[in-house]
Structure 1
Amino acid sequence: MAPSSQELEPPPKPGRFKALKAWCREKGLFAHHLAQWQADFCRAAGAVESREGSRELRTLKEENQRLQRELTRKEKALAEAAALWVLQKKYRALLGGEVE
């Protein structure tokens, strides 16, 4: 059942206290019910954002770990290549009779 246009009417702005109280009386509500509803709504929205944020954070942490492993692997490969280059240079010097 679709709500009528009157049911969808929003309450007056919070700065207009008398109008808000009149609106609440008309709808059979109390102002503190609106305040509680607003607090609950904001808390629930924050929980959803927090859950999405933690999911994104987990994804970013996994990506960071993957990149760290790749960097470590490449640093080791570079160190090995540098060591081989130095050994090759020394070997050529020994065979060629060059003095370093």
Structure 2
Amino acid sequence: MAYSPERKAAVLAKMLPPNSIPLNRLSVEEGISRATLAKWRAEARAKGKLLPEADAHVEGWTSGDKLAAVIEAAALNEAELGDYCRRRGIFPEQIAIWREACEQANDWDRTASARIARETKDDRKRIKALERELARKEKALAEAAALLVLRKRAAAIWGPADGEDE
């Protein structure tokens, strides 16, 4: 069944915040299959429209939805931003947090590389210290073994020392 563009636009508007009607409920209300509604939503999202998942809460938004909201709100003044947020069912503080997250996302490689380099340097220092300690202990063990062998040889040649058991 073909639906008119006006009907399709009206149904898509019901998916937008602040309504954010879940697909199952919208399917029952409108008499349109859930699959058709999901397809319409996917097509609209591919065109760049902000259509969150069926969950009405902001937690249900994908990172793409949040990025789209940040982009849409970037050029708005304070009054327009307030109106935009009311229509979308979000808070201006959330937009600010998402914007900061987007800005930090691009620095991930640089910060991750620096952190990995620091950890690698610390690991090398720790390995070197452990190797020194192991060498010292091996040396001490070899010396103790040599003393035991010498003691046995001396006991075999001259007999046990005074106060030693045989």
Number of equivalences: 72
Question: Which AA in structure 1 matches 2:46?
Answer: F
**Cα distance in 2 between the residues matched to 1:85 and 1:26:** 81
Q: Distance in 1 between matches of 2:142 and 2:73?
A: 79
Structure 1 CA distance, aligned partners of 2:72 and 2:133? 65
TM-score for both structures, normalised by structure 1? 0.58
Q: Percent identity of the aligned residues?
A: 38
Partner of 1:62: 125
CA deviations on 1:38-60 (whole Å, 9 max, x unpaired) are 7x854421110110111111111
The Cα offsets for residues 13-57 of structure 1, whole Å up to 9 and x where unpaired, read as: xx612216xx768967xxxxxxxxx7x854421110110111111
Residue 76 of structure 2 is aligned to residue 47 of structure 1:
no
Alpha carbons of 1:73 and 1:25: their partners in 2 closer, same or farther (altered >3 Å)?
A: closer
With over 3 angstroms needed to count, the CA separation of the structure-2 counterparts of 1:60 and 1:95, relative to structure 1, is: same
With CA pairs under 8 Å and 6+ residues apart, which has the higher RCO, 1 or 2?
A: 2
**Cα drift, residue 74 of structure 1:** 0.5
- Cα distance in 2 for partners of 1:80, 1:26 equals 74
Cα-Cα RMSD: 2.9
1:89 aligns with 2:118: no
Instruction: Decide which of 21, 46, 58 is 1:17's aligned counterpart.
Output: 46
CA deviations 1:54-73 (Å, max 9, x no partner) are 11111111001000000001
The answer for unaligned runs of 5 or more in structure 2 is: 1-41, 51-68, 76-101, 161-166
Q: TM-score, normalised by structure 2?
A: 0.37
Distance 1:17 1:81, change over 3 A: same
- The 1:17/1:95 distance shift into structure 2, 3 A limit, reads same
